[in-house]
Amino acid sequence: MAFTMRTSSSSSSYPYTTLSTNFSGEPELQNHHEALRLYKRSLAIAEKIYGPEHPEVATTLSSMAESYSEKSDYANALRVGERSLQIREKALGPDHPDVADSLNTLADIERQLGNSAKALRLAERALAIAEKSLSPDHPLVAECLFTLAEVHKDCGEFDEALRLHQRALTINEKISGPEHPDVFRSLSSLVQIYAITGDMQRSILTLDRLDR
C-alpha cells in the first residue's frame, strides 16, 4: 500500500500535519478499512493534543470524509465532512483555502448522492474561495474546477463542463506534468463529454492521449 502525507491546503505551520495520511493518490491500492482505522487513530491523537476544534482535527476529518466517500459510505462522509467544514470556518474564517477544500469535498459527496443543486452551490463557493485566496495555478483551484465541471456534466450542461475541465487540465499539466493521475482524470472526463455530445473526433483524439 502506498501512503502519502496529507497537509492542509494552505501553507500551514501546524506540526500535526504529518499525522494525517492520505490514501487517495493510488486508487488501485486503497484499503479503505485500514485507511479509516489510521485516520481514526490520528483523529484521537489530534483531539487529545489540540482539542476538538483545532484546524488539524479538521484536516484528518476531511481525509476521513474522502475515504468514506470512496467506499460509498456517504452518510459518514457527510457527517465528518460537515464537521471539518464547521471547524475550519470557525477557526480560519469563511474565506480560507482549507474551507474551500472542505466545501469541495462536500460538493463531490452531494454530487455522488445525486443532489446536483446542493453540489453546485458548494462547488461554486469552493472555487470562488480558492480563486480568491490562492494563485491561479494552485492544485486546489484545479481540484475545485474539476468538481464543478463534474457537477455541470451530471446536469447535462456540457459546454460549461468542457470549459471547466479544460481549465483544470491546463493547470494540472502545468504544475504536475502530462503523466500525472489528475491529468488522466481530466482527459477521461473530456473523452466522455465529447462522446456524449457527438464530437467523436475529439473524443478519439483525447482517448489517444490517454493511451500514450
pLDDT tens, N- to C-terminus, the chain (212 residues)? 333 335 555 544 333 333 443 434 434 335 778 889 999 999 999 999 999 999 999 999 999 999 999 999 999 999 999 999 999 999 999 999 999 999 999 999 999 999 999 999 999 999 999 999 999 999 999 999 999 999 999 999 999 999 999 999 999 999 999 999 999 999 999 999 999 999 999 999 999 988 86
Q: How far apart are CA 146 and CA 176, in angstroms?
A: 15
Q: Please tell me the predicted confidence (pLDDT) of residue 165.
A: 97
Q: Please tell me the predicted confidence (pLDDT) of residue 125.
A: 98
Q: Please tell me the predicted confidence (pLDDT) of residue 211.
A: 80
For residue 3, give every residue at least 6 positions away whose Cβ sits within 8 Å of its Cβ, in sequence order, or none: 21, 22, 23
Decide: helix, strand or coil at residue 61. Answer: helix
Q: Which amino acid is at 142?
A: A
Q: Which amino acid is at 92?
A: L
Q: Please tell me the predicted confidence (pLDDT) of residue 9.
A: 59
135: left (phi over 0), alpha (psi -120 to 50) or beta: beta
Least Cα distance to 99 among 58, 143, 156 occurs for 58
Task: State the cell numbers at 39.
Answer: 485516520
Q: Please tell me the predicted confidence (pLDDT) of residue 210.
A: 85
Q: Please tell me the predicted confidence (pLDDT) of residue 32.
A: 75
Q: How far apart are CA 96 and CA 147, in angstroms?
A: 18
Q: Please tell me the predicted confidence (pLDDT) of residue 33.
A: 81
Provide the b/e sequence for 169-208 (b: ≥16 CB within 10 Å).
bebbbeeeeeeeebbebbbebbbbbbeeeebeeebeebbe
How far is the CA of 46 from the CAs of 53, 80, 107, in angstroms?
A: 10, 15, 25
